[in-house]
Structure 1
Amino acid sequence: MKRRLLRHKFALWVIAALALASCSQDELADGGQGTPLPPGEYPLTLTASSIGETVATPATRGTVDNEWDGTEYVCVQVYDNYTSGEPQWSNATEQEYKVTKDGTMTKTSGNDVYWQTSGEKKAIRACFVAQDPYDPVPPPSSHAVNADQSWNSEYYKSDLLYAGCISGFAEGKDGINLTFYHQVAKLTIQIVRGKDTPAVFSVTGLKINRVATKGDFTAPATFVDDDDSRYGRWSNTTEVKDITPHETTADYPDNSGILAAYEAIVIPQTVKANTKLFTITAEGYSDFAYTTTAEKEWEPGKEYTYTITIKGDRLEVSVSGGNIGWGTDGATGSGEVELP
């Protein structure tokens, strides 16, 4: 039973390069900081690099696998003449960008934005909500994950990404790094063959029981530059449903012992002790379940890997490290249940 913080590992990296017309150091020196720039001379344009963190054998292609699929539309808000505190985003310029597979961002709507003075700062935030319809919106006040994530598309459409930064002209003219972070959490459940597992034992399904699938969301504070500012806050996670997770199709090595593996995107929430969390079905057996032994908080931007080992006539359930998908973070609790 291990616990590891994920944070940086599953971040989606998007480089926002500010492509500005050339301006020599002499020109800047002559003008000085705070000098008005020629109107329309220094446009703010965004381009995206490829995603920095990928997996070797992703089950799907999309942001959940830290790759752009080429169908994503991102909402960008730019607040001019930033001074202090959280910007009034209702006064920001809103733009829409499409991200291609190679990382190119193409503006599809919204007014152009220009640097106005050499001493100006701009606050920038961007959001990707992977739900249908693909209508780019600012950070939403609530978000829901799909209950049936068995389909690749519904698993993919449960994601929520956010990026934010504040940059001045001096550093921004040569490029700004926007890092997108998952605002939801991820579960990976691996069912592993034990020493005495029957040779014909076959897992046929898994269900995540009665967890929150929707919650109110407050976006991160853009003006704070620390780990906590990368992730928003969740509340009112009272809409609960069963989740059918996505079964991975990765080719595991023959010696891995993995009988089946599942992934699901979940709303950050607290799972209470004595919760019947997983129900597993296996051919020739009655359903059996894993019940939590301790309270656990699923935090935004983390993955929780549950390893379930079949040992003879019982299950041994642990929460351990692994490396499928975004990265890992162990959760508290272990237990076992008798097979019928």
Structure 2
Amino acid sequence: MNNRLPLHILSAATVLLFAATACTQDELADDNRLPEGEYPVVIRATGLSVEATPQAAPSTRATVDGDWQGVQTVALKMGDAVKEYTVTATDADGYKSATLSCENDPHYWTSRDPITVSAWWPLDDTDITRMPAVKVVEDQSKLADFQNSDFISAENQTVKFDDPKLTFTHRTARVAIELKPGTGFTSVDGATVSLVSLSTDNGNPTAIQTYHASGNSYEALTAPQTVAKGEPFIRVELGGGNFYFRPQNDVVLEAGNRYTYTVKVNATGLTLAGCEIGKWDDGGGENGEAEELDYIYDSNTKTYTVYTADGLLAWAEAAQSDLSINCTLTADIGLTGKTWTPIGNGSMSKYGYQGTFDGQGHRITGLAITTDNLYGEIAALFDGIGGNGEVKNLQLVDVDYDVRQNGAAGGIANANYGTITACSVNGDITANSGDVGGIASINHGSIIGCWFDGNLTTNYANGGIAAYNYSTITACFYGGNAGHGANNQGGTVGATKVEGTTTWQDAVDGMNAALTGNDYQWKLGTDGLPVLQKKQ
């Protein structure tokens, strides 16, 4: 139900009752005609009952809060004529009533017959006669910008001379979001909450940063619209990660309604605890549930934001067709039992992956690839990383690669022509008749601040970081049996074996010294191996 704002239109006769020479309505002409130019229309704005926005100071109230204090003028239309009316608010009832009048050139009653009236606020700065399209502010994080995004109107309403009332409604929709900590979070303090995937009609923003009303409550005003099901709708930035809620059904945001979403912030995304849809001031009535969130795709940045193993597989499928599609992990991913096809082609730089894969410090565990092809197959996360490709801030844990006949194997990539930064691999990598590298089989690009620990097995060349290095390996370390085999070609160039006087703590210090421009750094974990963490 919409919350309506009744406005009582008073005839000049009512206004002039306070003057000694005023006429009464009983003294007016019996045929309903009134003397021209003698009875100006005056509007009494009353009945605003919206609850104040939490933490809103009295001096910053506006129509969104239930009063007229923030409004100076409104446009009032009768027939084809639009005039600017002055708003005079009163503090007698907390600014919930006001008088709207025009001193120099008002509208006049010409008879006691009903009239059709429209009114609106705010006014169009370029053309007062035109009701402006609803265009809200993109950044509503400040209270004033949130309040100033409100639009109200009373459109084509019939007003009677002896019952002069005009009813206003909000032209915007009000969205309130209540955050709760879910799995992986003990607090949601410090969150930034936005509405996304919004319509850009009339120049509106595609995303709106909400106003932090109080505690874990956030609010925003939007133009009326429909957000399609499956699209990201609520984004929460918290703890260095971005989390999204994607509704199962279309979200229809109607003018004058308030939509209250209670969402839990989980390490794998946002889930809906409840939804109330109702009038502007309190909402109420309708509940909803959210589907499991696997990924979000942003077509503007060509980025998959991945939350689950299925989300990662969805990105991998898309990347096979478009090697420039980016991927950002928001959680640790388990691939045990999943089938993986290496991304790109390592035969040439131009055939490799050209996007950015950012693990954001997360782990991919249980990646297993077994091949048994006489004509050769590759075991790696990426077959090829192209010259424009970048893989960073990623940990592969417990990999199990087994190339039983022909083909090479590399922890992150078979062939790297791009950049691999702050990545690690541990596990077992075997290629019976091919080259093996802890990070890459062949390096034609840059490998910076990476490490490998585990078992490399082959009858051909192997290296703790790369079996063959034709470019740059900087501040990388390796352990286990890496660097041992029939041909140790790559383990010693730009990389250091962790044994003897070199420890994993030395490795952490050395790698971090080379990661000065990266958002992540290594620290020594409880298992004695480095783990990746976001810089504070």
Distance in 1 separating the partners of 2:236 and 2:205: 19
Alignment map for 1:276-295 (pairs within 5 Å): 276-283=232-239, 286-295=241-250
In structure 2, the CA distance between the partners of 1:333 and 1:267, relative to structure 1 (3 Å rule), is farther
* 1:117 equivalent among 107, 111, 114: 111
CA distance, structure 1, for counterparts of residue 277 and residue 224 of structure 2: 20
Give 1:214 deviation, angstroms. 3.9
Instruction: Give the distance between the partners of 1:47 and 1:277, measured in 2 at CA.
Output: 39
1:74 aligns with 2:74: yes
Shift of 1:56: 7.5
Deviations 1:73-102 (A, max 9, x none): 1111223xxxxxxxxxxx325232224253
Q: CA contact under 8 A between 2:137 and 2:205: conserved in structure 1?
A: no
Aligned CA distance change for structure 1 residues 297 and 241 (closer, same or farther; 3 Å): same
Distance in 2, matches of 1:151 and 1:303, equals 20
**Residue 51 of structure 1 pairs with residue 43 of structure 2:** no
Q: Counterpart of 1:326 in structure 2: which amino acid?
A: D
1:16-55 matches, within 5 Å, as 16-20=9-13, 21-23=22-24, 25=26, 27=27, 31-34=29-32, 36-49=33-46, 51-55=48-52
Match of 1:182 in 2: 170
Per-residue deviation, 1:112: 2.8
Residue 93 and residue 205 in structure 1: after superposition, are their counterparts in 2 closer, same or farther (change >3 A)? closer
CA spacing shift, 1:289–1:166, aligned 2, 3 Å: same
DSSP-derived class of the 1:115 partner = coil
| Aligned position for 1:167 | 159
Residue pair 1:127, 1:137 contacting (<8 A) in 2 also: no
Secondary structure of the residue aligned to 2:199 is strand
Distance 1:317 1:139, change over 3 A: farther
* 1:186-207, Cα deviation, whole Å (9 max, x unpaired): 111110246x775455342112
> 2:207 aligned to 227, 242, 246, which one?
242
Please give the per-residue CA displacement for 1:289-331, whole angstroms capped at 9, x wherever unaligned.
1112222221111111111024787743144228896332647
Q: Which residue of 2 aligns with 1:226?
A: none
Deviation at 1:145, TM superposition (A): 0.9
Matches within 5 A, 1:303-322: 303-310=258-265, 315-321=270-276
Counterpart of 2:189? 202
Q: Distance in 2 between matches of 1:93 and 1:314?
A: 50
- Take 1:269 and 1:162, find their aligned partners in 2: how far apart are those partners? 18
CA deviation vs aligned residue, 1:30-74 (integer Å, no higher than 9, x gap) = x5334x334444332223236233348463621111222244311
1:268 to 221, 224, 245: 224
1:92 maps to 81
TM (norm. structure 2) is 0.46
Larger radius of gyration: 2
Letter in 1 for 2:99: M
Structure 1 residue 247 displacement after superposition: 0.9
Q: In 2, distance between residues paired with 1:99 and 1:112?
A: 15
- Rate the CA distance shift 1:77–1:325 in 2: closer, same or farther, 3 A: closer
Residue 98 to residue 136, structure 1, CA distance change in 2 (3 Å): farther
CA change 1:277–1:200 in 2 (3 A) is closer
Given the superposition, is the C-alpha separation of residues 280 and 178 from structure 1 closer, same or farther in structure 2, using an over 3 Å criterion? same
Secondary structure at the counterpart of residue 144 of structure 2: helix
Match of 1:212 in 2: 199
Distance verdict in 2 for CA 1:115–1:182, change over 3 Å = same
From 143, 153, 158, give the equivalent of 2:144.
153
Identity %: 21
Q: Given that residues 74 and 98 in structure 1 are in contact (C-alpha distance below 8 angstroms), is that contact kept between their aligned partners in structure 2?
A: yes
Report the Cα offset of residue 280 of structure 1: 1.0
**How far off its partner does 1:334 sit?**
2.0
Provide the C-alpha distance between the structure 2 equivalents of 1:108 and 1:295, rounded to a whole number of angstroms. 44
RCO comparison, higher one (Cα < 8 Å, 6+): 1
Distance 1:93 1:158 in 2: 23
SS of alignment partner, residue 134 of structure 2: strand
CA contact (8 A) 2:7 2:43 kept: no
Residue 69 to residue 197, structure 1, CA distance change in 2 (3 Å): farther
**Aligned match for 2:122, one of 111, 117, 129:** 129
Unaligned runs of 5+ in 2: 14-21, 294-306, 308-329, 332-536
1:128 maps to amino acid? W
Offset at residue 146 of structure 1 (A): 0.9
In 2, are the aligned partners of 1:296 and 1:332 still within 8 Å (CA)? no
One-letter identity of the residue aligned with 2:30: G
Q: State the one-letter code of the partner of 2:31.
A: Q
Report how many residues are paired: 278
Within 2, Cα distance between the matches of 1:275 and 1:57? 30
Ranges in structure 1 where 5+ consecutive residues have no aligned partner: 1-5, 80-90, 216-237, 250-258
Of residues 279, 282, 298, the one that matches 2:253 is 298
TM-score (normalizing by structure 1): 0.69
CA distance in 2 between partners of 1:286 and 1:93 (Å): 50
Query: Which one-letter code corresponds to 1:125 in the other structure?
Result: S
Distance 1:311 1:286 in 2: 11
Aligned alpha-carbon RMSD (Å): 3.3
SS at the partner of 2:146? helix
Q: Distance in 1 between matches of 2:188 and 2:205?
A: 32
Q: Matched residue of 1:15: which SS?
A: strand
- Offset of residue 167 of structure 1: 2.5
Letter in 1 for 2:89: T
